[in-house]
Amino acid sequence: MDSGQILAMAMLATICGAMLVGYQVAFTLAGVGVVFALIGQSMGVFDMLFFNALPSRFFGVMTNELLVAVPLFVFMGVMLEKSKIAEDLLTTMGQCFGQLRGGLGISVTFVGMLLAATTGIVGATVVTMGLLSLPTMLRAKYDPKLACGTICAAGTLGQIIPPSVVLVLLGDVLAGMYSEAQLSIGNFLFEPFSVIDLFAGAVLPGLLLVALYFCWQVTVAFIRPEASPAYYDSSMDRSHFTAQIIKVLIPPLFLILAVLGSILGGLATPTEAASFGAVGAMLLAAIRRMLNWKILGEVVRSTTRISCMVFGILIGASLFSLTFRGLGGDEVVENFLLSLPGGTITALIFVMILIFLLGFILEFIEIVFIVVPIIAPALLKTDINPVWLGIMIGLNLQTSFMTPPFGWALFYIRGVAPKRIKTGDIYRGVVPFVVLQLIALCILAYFPQLATWLPKQLFG
């Protein structure tokens, strides 16, 4: 490696160290990029003319119509949280399955799947389900480890089940890289890749993961019945129970059909569907008489805060990646991956292991905007299907929410769990579900058709 490429590797080490210390990600990315650009210029290995591309990059980020879907999906998720849909779902579905051993765990997973398909906001889902279902599961004498693990796993389904903010960001990053990679190898007849393909490809792997969660709940109930006993609330009125189920299920199912169905059916772009979902969430809140100026203000502030974080990191990552590529770091990564024994398969395994390990210390947004742009171009120059690669990365990223010690779902559940539940119990409770996610990842790796079949059926 020349001195510029050595500087590029030092950039990666510096950014990881700075984030471990706790510096703000967006400012750290931009700051490290500028500092190493100046060092590279002083050493004669970096041309500051690279920074002439920054204005167009920033303008491209802020005018990207696809990224407009991010604040809209966030708004929809936060509004649905305030409209008490999750509370009604948990109460009703808990009674549906509560008479069975493991029934509460199954109902929490089922509600997590529905909320994932309507909100895609992991933090709101985990906190809401933790506040509502954890006390009930503990009263039913559930094993605290199983209860916490179930809630964390169900809450993170919003990472992989569309519409997901993660898939929107990941799809936007991969789409540009795929086009650039194909053009660089002289392929001018490649099929375009979009977030819509990623949404369609995520449906079956997401359902596979839910099925594995269900199987684990049933297995625990069979092997250790004392860990997940049946729970039945006799005080609940059963006379109109069927009508209550229909009333509770119709709103989220309508939003799923309206948002996801319109995208996969080709009736709307993700941004258009997200705007419809945001308006639909407001209408549902109004029907439930949960919409007023105070709640609307809280939703807008929360949406603004989350969106600013995402776009701030994205802009900082643009500066970081520009410096990294200007120093020749992309060539080092590409040469390393393609020189591994075993070729593409070994490179893919290495990348998956790397993303999994980085999930212990980095947030998913940091991995999407920092790590993926570095490692993906080399893989996309091979014959790997971009939809399959995107879903593999997305499913792997989901584990970053549950891997100790810095998984965000663990922090969320810790914040709402009673003091008698130890942090160690939460960590041990999520381990089986992390293993299930890795099993799902291996199944998807062995059967790529799980990710590629539905997009081919829908879009040819």
Is residue 41 over pLDDT 60? yes
- Residue 69: predicted pLDDT: 83
The larger pLDDT score, comparing residue 61 to residue 345, is at 345
What is the C-alpha to C-alpha distance for residues 94 and 88, in angstroms, rounded to an integer? 10
- Residue 141: predicted pLDDT: 86
For the chain, report the end-to-end CA distance as a whole number of angstroms: 44
Residue carrying the six token digits 């010690």: 405
Is residue 456 over pLDDT 80? yes
In terms of average pLDDT, the best of 30-39, 110-119, 264-273, 401-410 is 30-39
Residue 21, classified by CB atoms within 10 Å of its CB into exposed (0-12), middle (13-18) or buried (19+), is exposed
Is residue 195 over pLDDT 60? yes
CA-based angle 170:57:22, to the nearest 5?
Answer: 60
Measured CA distances, 191 to 77, 148, 172, 187, 378 (Å): 32, 43, 16, 10, 18
Average pLDDT, the chain: 83
Cβ(209)–Cβ(439) below 8 Å: no
Instruction: Express as a percent the part of the chain with pLDDT over 90.
Output: 15
pLDDT-based confidence at 250, cuts 50/70/90? confident
- Residue 390: predicted pLDDT: 92
pLDDT-based confidence at 1, cuts 50/70/90? low
What is the C-alpha to C-alpha distance for residues 258 and 376, in angstroms, rounded to an integer? 32
Cβ(205)–Cβ(393) below 8 Å: no
pLDDT (average), residues 408-430: 83
Is residue 115 over pLDDT 70? yes
pLDDT-based confidence at 443, cuts 50/70/90? very high
pLDDT-based confidence at 339, cuts 50/70/90? confident
Measured CA distances, 408 to 23, 183, 192, 299, 404 (Å): 17, 38, 34, 21, 9
- Residue 421: predicted pLDDT: 86
- Residue 437: predicted pLDDT: 93
What is the C-alpha to C-alpha distance for residues 359 and 295, in angstroms, rounded to an integer? 34
* pLDDT tens digits, 222-244: 999 888 887 766 555 556 667 77
* pLDDT tens digits, 119-153: 666 666 777 777 778 888 888 888 999 999 999 89
What is the C-alpha to C-alpha distance for residues 154 and 226, in angstroms, rounded to an integer? 21
pLDDT (average), residues 419-447: 91
What is the C-alpha to C-alpha distance for residues 11 and 327, in angstroms, rounded to an integer? 10
Q: Which of 174, 177, 182 is nearest to 202 (CA)?
A: 174
Is residue 376 over pLDDT 90? no
What is the C-alpha to C-alpha distance for residues 124 and 115, in angstroms, rounded to an integer? 10
Q: Which of 368, 363, 354 is nearest to 410 (CA)?
A: 363
pLDDT (average), residues 406-428: 81
pLDDT-based confidence at 22, cuts 50/70/90? low
Phi then psi dihedrals of residue 95, to 5 deg: -75, -30
Residue carrying the six token digits 């389904």: 157
Residue 301, classified by CB atoms within 10 Å of its CB into exposed (0-12), middle (13-18) or buried (19+), is exposed
pLDDT (average), residues 179-203: 84
Q: Which of 439, 361, 368, 347 is nearest to 400 (CA)?
A: 361
pLDDT (average), residues 25-41: 87
- Residue 392: predicted pLDDT: 93
- HSE of 233, CA atoms in CB hemisphere, 13 A: 18
pLDDT-based confidence at 91, cuts 50/70/90? confident
- Residue 413: predicted pLDDT: 83
- Residue 280: predicted pLDDT: 87
Give the chain's radius of gyration (CA, Å): 23
Amino acid code (one letter) for 16: C
